[in-house]
C-alpha cells in the first residue's frame, strides 16, 4: 500500500460505475442514495490511503536513524569511509574547509548513519555561514545520537543558527500566462561582495532588504519576449522558446518591462544589484549561485558546447539555488538596475540601486565566458544601449 493508493471509482461519474437502480424509487431518492454512496466511498478511500500518503511524505532519514539506533552492536566504518574521514580531518587542519566538506559528504554518502560525520559537517557548514545546511546536519546527528557525546553542543548550535538563518522562498506566481514565473523572496540581510574577489567586488558590506520582493524564476525566455514585443532579437533563435532571450541591451529590457507593466498593471522592474546578489546567494555563501561547483548550476564556456560552438541552453536545465531560482550563474549575463562604480565604497545598505555611476551593471556570467565570471560576486558593465548575444535579464517585482 505504501507509496501508491488508487481511489475507487465513484458511481455516476465519467470514470465510475454506471449501475441502473431497478427498484421504483423516485429520481430525487436515487440522487440522495448516490450522494450517500459517494460520501461513504470517499471516507473509505481517505482511511485506506492515509497511511500511504503519510509514507510518501516521510523523511527517509528517519528509517536510517531508527535502524542505526536499534543496531547492537553499532556498525563500524568501512575502510573507504575511514579514508575520507582522515582526509577530511587533515583538510580541516590545513584550513581548507571546502575540501573537508566535500570529503565528509563522500563519507556520509556511503555511511549516512555515521553520527560524528554529520556533526563535523554541520560545524564546517556553520563556519561557511551555510546555516540552513548546518542546522540540517546537526538535526541528523541528534536523530542518530540523542544522548551522544556532542548532543548538547549540537542543540546549542541549532539555537544559535536559528537567529540568523534566512527564511525560505515563498510561493511562485504568474500575472498572465505569457508573463515570467515569479518567486516570492523574504526580507533579510546578507554580506555583499567578496574579500577574495576582484577590486570591484570589495569591500564586503552588510545589506538589509526590509521588504519582501519577487524575482523571475528564470531569465526572460524567447517565448516570453515574443509574446509582448512581437519579435525575437536573439542570435540563438534556434535554441528555442525556452532559451533565454539574448542580444538585448539595458534599454531593450526597459522597453520589455514597460510593456509588461502595461499588460499587468504592476510595477515590474530590473532587480537592483544588491537584490540580485541576495537572490543569488539565497542565504548561503557558495562560490556560485547555489553551489561551490560551477558545473552544477551554470552553463559556461567549459560545458555549453565545444570550441567555437558554445551556446546558451534552455532555462532551468541546471540545478536551482536554495530559493528555487535557475541560471543565476551562467547561461546569459543579466542586466540589473544599477549604474556601475568601480567598488562598493559608500554603497547603500538598504539594497537600493546606485545611480551615480556610468554605464550599467551585468551579473551572473554566461555560456561564453569562464566560470570565474559566474561567481556570486562577479560583475561587469556596459553602456545601456550595448547588445551582445550573451546578454539577457530577469525581472523583479516589489511586493505589498
Residue 13 has pLDDT above 50, yes or no: no
- The single-letter DSSP state of residue 315 is T
- Among candidate residues 228, 227, 225, 230, the one with its CA nearest the CA of residue 246: 225
Q: How far apart are CA 341 and CA 208, in angstroms?
A: 20
Pick the CATH number of 172-398 from 3.20.20.70, 3.90.1580.10, 3.40.228.10, 3.30.465.10: 3.90.1580.10
Residue 39 has pLDDT above 90, yes or no: no
- Cell 587533515 found at: 90
Q: Quick one: pLDDT at residue 11?
A: 32
In the three-class reduction of DSSP (H, G, I as helix; E, B as strand; rest coil), residue 94 is classed as coil
More confident residue, 45 or 98: 98
pLDDT tens digit sequence for 213-270: 999 999 999 999 999 999 999 999 999 999 999 999 999 999 999 999 999 999 999 9
More confident residue, 133 or 80: 80
Residue 40 has pLDDT above 50, yes or no: no
Task: Tell me the mean pLDDT in the region 96-124.
Answer: 96
Please give the biggest Cα pair distance in the chain.
Answer: 89
Q: Quick one: pLDDT at residue 80?
A: 97
Q: Quick one: pLDDT at residue 119?
A: 97
Q: Which strands, in side-by-side order, build the sheet including 396-398?
A: 172-173, 182-185, 213-216, 396-398
Tell me which of 1-10, 325-334, 335-344 is least confident: 1-10
DSSP string over 102-137 = HHHHHHHHH-TT-HHHHHHHHHHHHHTT-HHHHHHH
Residue 47 has pLDDT above 90, yes or no: no
Task: Tell me the mean pLDDT in the region 154-162.
Answer: 93
Residue 44 has pLDDT above 50, yes or no: no
Cβ–Cβ under 8 Å, residues 250 and 359: no
Topology, domain 79-164: 1.25.40
Q: Which is it for the CA torsion 187, 190, 192, 194, positive or negative?
A: negative
Cβ–Cβ under 8 Å, residues 340 and 381: yes
pTM over 0.75? The answer is no
Residue 166 has pLDDT above 70, yes or no: no
- Cell 536573439 found at: 234
User: What confidence tier does 3 reach under pLDDT thresholds 50, 70, 90?
Assistant: very low
User: What confidence tier does 204 reach under pLDDT thresholds 50, 70, 90?
Assistant: very high
Task: Tell me the mean pLDDT in the region 78-90.
Answer: 97
Cβ-based neighbour number of residue 230 at 10 Å: 8
- Cis peptide preceding 203, ω within 30 of 0: yes
Average pLDDT taken over every residue of the chain: 87
Cα angle: 115, vertex 117, 120; to 5 degrees: 110
- Cell 535554441 found at: 239
Domain spans of the chain, in order of start = 1-58, 79-164, 172-398
Amino acid at each position: 500500500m505504501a507509496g501508491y493508493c488508487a481511489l475507487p471509482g465513484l458511481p455516476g461519474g465519467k470514470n465510475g460505475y454506471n449501475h441502473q437502480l431497478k427498484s421504483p424509487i423516485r429520481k430525487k431518492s436515487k440522487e440522495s442514495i448516490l450522494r450517500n454512496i459517494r460520501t461513504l466511498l470517499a471516507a473509505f478511500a481517505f482511511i485506506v490511503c492515509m497511511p500511504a500518503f503519510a509514507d510518501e511524505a516521510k523523511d527517509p532519514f528517519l528509517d536510517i536513524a531508527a535502524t542505526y539506533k536499534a543496531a547492537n552492536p553499532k556498525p563500524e566504518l568501512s575502510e573507504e569511509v575511514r579514508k575520507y574521514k582522515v582526509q577530511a580531518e587533515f583538510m580541516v587542519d590545513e584550513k581548507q574547509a571546502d575540501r573537508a566538506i566535500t570529503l565528509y559528504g563522500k563519507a556520509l554518502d556511503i555511511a549516512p548513519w555515521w553520527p560524528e560525520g554529520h556533526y563535523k559537517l554541520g560545524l564546517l557548514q556553520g563556519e561557511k555561514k551555510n546555516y540552513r545546511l548546518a542546522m540540517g546536519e546537526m538535526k541528523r546527528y541528534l536523530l542518530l545520537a540523542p544522548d551522544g557525546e556532542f548532543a548538547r553542543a549540537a542543540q546549542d548550535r541549532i539555537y544559535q543558527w536559528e537567529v540568523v538563518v534566512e527564511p525560505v522562498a515563498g510561493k511562485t506566481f504568474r500575472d498572465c500566462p505569457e508573463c515570467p514565473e515569479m518567486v516570492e523572496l523574504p526580507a533579510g540581510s546578507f554580506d555583499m561582495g567578496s574579500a577574495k574577489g576582484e577590486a570591484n567586488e570589495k569591500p564586503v558590506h552588510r545589506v538589509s532588504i526590509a521588504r519582501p520582493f519577487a524575482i523571475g524564476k528564470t531569465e526572460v525566455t524567447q517565448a516570453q519576449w515574443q509574446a509582448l514585443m512581437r519579435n525575437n532579437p536573439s542570435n540563438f533563435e534556434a535554441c528555442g522558446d525556452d532559451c533565454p532571450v539574448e542580444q538585448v541591451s539595458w534599454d531593450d529590457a526597459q522597453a520589455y518591462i514597460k510593456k509588461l507593466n502595461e499588460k499587468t498593471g504592476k510595477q515590474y522592474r530590473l532587480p537592483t544589484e544588491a537584490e540580485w546578489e541576495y537572490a543569488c546567494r539565497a542565504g548561503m555563501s557558495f562560490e556560485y549561485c547555489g553551489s561551490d561547483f560551477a558545473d552544477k548550476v551554470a552553463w559556461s564556456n567549459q560545458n555549453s558546447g565545444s570550441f567555437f560552438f558554445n551556446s546558451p541552453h534552455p532555462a532551468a536545465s541546471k540545478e536551482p539555488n536554495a530559493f528555487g531560482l535557475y541560471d543565476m550563474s551562467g547561461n546569459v549575463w543579466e542586466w540589473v538596475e544599477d549604474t556601475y562604480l568601480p567598488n562598493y565604497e559608500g554603497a547603500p545598505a538598504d539594497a537600493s540601486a546606485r545611480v551615480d555611476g556610468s554605464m550599467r551593471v551585468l551579473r551572473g556570467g554566461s555560456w561564453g565566458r569562464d566560470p570565474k565570471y559566474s561567481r556570486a560576486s562577479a560583475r561587469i558593465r556596459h553602456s545601456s544601449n550595448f547588445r551582445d548575444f550573451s546578454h539577457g535579464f530577469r525581472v523583479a517585482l516589489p511586493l505589498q
